[in-house]
Amino acid sequence: MFTLQKVIIVLLLFFNHHVFSEEFQFVDATFCPFICDSKVEGKEGFVIDILRDALATKNHTINFTIVPYKRALSMVRNGKAHALPAIYKMDAPDLIVGKTVIAIGNNQFFVRYDSDWKYTAIDSWKGISIGVIDGYTFNHQGFDKYLAHQKQRPNNKVVFISGENSYQRLFKLLISKRIDAILDDKAFIQYELNRFKAENNLDTAPLVISAGTLSKGENVVAYSPKHAEISKLLIEIIDPFVTDLYKTGKIEKYLARYGIN
pLDDT digits (tens, 9 = 90+) for 29-83: 988 899 999 988 899 999 999 999 999 999 999 999 999 988 999 999 999 999 9
228 and 179 together in one domain: no
pLDDT confidence tier of residue 258, bands split at 50, 70 and 90 = confident
Angstrom distance (rounded) from CA 97 to CA 83:
10
Q: Which CATH number characterizes residue 56's domain?
A: 3.40.190.10
pLDDT tens digits for 160-219?
998 888 889 999 999 999 999 999 998 888 888 888 888 888 877 789 999 999 999 899
Distances in Å between the Cα of 31 and the Cα atoms of 105, 146, 147, 192, 237 are 12, 23, 20, 9, 24
- Using alpha carbons, select from 220, 238, 222 the residue that is nearest to residue 83: 222
Spatial distance between the Cα atoms of 34 and 136, rounded to a whole number of angstroms:
15
Q: Letter for the amino acid at 221?
A: V
Burial 156-177 (b: 16+ CB within 10 A, else e): ebbbbbeeeebbbbbbebbbee
- Determine, yes or no, domain membership for 98: yes
Whether 261 is in a domain gets the answer: no
Looking at the 3D structure of the chain, how many domains does it have? 2
* Residue 118 belongs to domain spanning: 105-217
Give a yes or no: residue 184 inside a domain.
Answer: yes
User: What is the C-alpha to C-alpha distance for residues 111 and 89, in angstroms, rounded to an integer?
Assistant: 28
Mean pLDDT of 121-148: 91
Q: 73 and 113: one domain?
A: no
CA 39 vs CA 63, 158, 175, 259: distances in Å: 15, 31, 27, 19
**Alpha-carbon span 87 to 82, nearest angstrom:** 14
Tell me the pLDDT band of 8, cut-offs 50, 70 and 90. very low
Higher local confidence (pLDDT), 258 or 229: 229
Q: What is the pLDDT of residue 204?
A: 77
Same domain, 10 and 88: yes
